[in-house]
Amino acid sequence: MMVSIGEVLIDFIALQEGRLREVRSFERHPGGAPANVAVGLSRLGVESALVSKVGDDPFGDFLLEELRNEGVRTYIPRDGERHTGVVFVQLIGAKPEFILYDGVAYFNLKPGDVDFSVLENAEVVHFGTVLLAREPSRSTLFGILRKLKGKVMLSYDVNLRPDLWRGRNGEMLRDVEEALRLADVVKLGDGELEYLRGNGIEPENFNPWLMAVTSGERGSELVGECCRVRVPAYRVEPLDTTGAGDAFMAALLAGLYHSNLLGKMELDEESLRRIGRFANLVAALSTTRRGAWSVPKMEEIILMREVRGLYQRSSR
Ligand code: ATP
């Protein structure tokens, strides 16, 4: 099983064009990057679970139900004091304008909320940066990762949201460095890579087992100990690129799983290329559907000529 740990929330997506201050109506979608990855994994035939926290409120009921409908196992206690996370989003060009609510349940994740045996027995534990923006979730997440280091493969999608740190950039960068030190698999966008390098952080220096850098319609680059490979994007007519990065992340992990590559000491060039092609394909297909939960099901993908030969393990 692969376990994601992090935020699950309601994305309220603007229904009119223009700045958030002008928008009058929003549509409700389940979201949160680690939750999106858990759903993507489940759709791609990998048993998956989400560790998080929601409020004891109707939005919490909705998210738990949606995750369970997707076949994601939920280790998500209810918070009697804090509400379920919500975010209001507008896409202005390619750049999202958003209001992410503070003081919500997932930032209140405490060690006692987490069933450690679920994490300890996972094949992969996947996490992102958002929980690191507040306490107690930051200490809880770092505590868990330090205990798991070297025992379970740790996967990190950098997914930077500097607005969340509001002027505490130094703290954010220190936390990202610590997360990079702990992670075995690292994924980040080319813009994020540039930003980190501009601040003196070179992710490759932390020697991840596998690093993937995504560049939207230009595809991705995968870096392993053996070598680096550039994989062009799969060509589609995109409708909505929200969650393309999360779809890529889920497909990267699912590709490793289905090709029996998890735990291999070294990835060769051919394996990197196949995994990259699969992740690009799934991410591209996800952009042809709306919303963040837009990864196609394995049953559909497996029929495509492009993925033949990837699967030695049977899907669920
Ligand atoms: P987000 O934060 O919106 O989820 P991201 O910045 O993390 O996205 P991108 O680099 O935009 O991630 O995209 C991830 C992957 O999705 C790319 O590497 C590529 O394979 C695929 N992708 C994204 N946009 C397109 C596109 N227009 N056409 C084809 N593939 C795309």
- Residue bearing the CA closest to ligand 1, atom 14: 245
pLDDT in tens, 242-263: 899 999 999 999 999 999 999 8
Distance CA 156, CA 249 (A): 9
**pLDDT at residue 19, rounded to an integer:** 93
Task: Quote ipTM for the complex.
Answer: 0.96
CB 263 within 8 A of CB 248: no
Q: Which of 115, 116, 120, 141 is nearest to 130 (CA)?
A: 141
Distance CA 180, CA 201 (A): 10
Distance from Cα 96 to the centre of ligand 1, integer Å: 14
Distance CA 311, CA 93 (A): 38
Q: With b meaning 16 or more CB within 10 Å and e meaning fewer, what string describes 2-30?
A: bbbbbbbbbbbbbeeeeeeeebeebeebb
C-alpha to C-alpha distances, 245 to 36, 56, 159, nearest whole angstrom: 10, 30, 9
pLDDT in tens, 211-223: 999 999 999 999 9
pLDDT in tens, 121-147: 999 999 999 999 999 999 999 999 999
C-alpha to C-alpha distances, 225 to 94, 211, 228, nearest whole angstrom: 33, 10, 8
Of the candidate ranges 12-21, 167-176, 307-316, the one whose mean pLDDT is the lowest: 307-316
Binned at pLDDT 50, 70 and 90, residue 312 comes out as very low
Sheet holding 85-92, edge to edge: 26-31, 9-14, 85-92, 95-100
pLDDT in tens, 44-59: 999 999 999 999 999 9
Distance CA 284, CA 301 (A): 12
- Residue bearing the CA closest to ligand 1, atom 3: 242
Say whether pTM exceeds 0.90.
yes
Distance from Cα 140 to the centre of ligand 1, integer Å: 30
Distance CA 251, CA 275 (A): 8
- Specify the 3-state DSSP secondary structure of 92: strand
Q: Write phi, then psi, for 97 (nearest 5 degrees).
A: -105, 130
Q: Which sign, positive or negative, has the C-alpha torsion 229, 122, 133, 170?
A: negative
Q: Which CATH class is domain 2-307?
A: alpha beta
Question: Does the beta carbon of 284 sit less than 6 angstroms from any atom of ligand 1?
Answer: yes
**Domain limits, the chain:** 2-307
Question: Does the beta carbon of 248 sit less than 6 angstroms from any atom of ligand 1?
Answer: yes
Atom of ligand 1 nearest to the CA of 190: 10
CB 186 within 8 A of CB 202: no
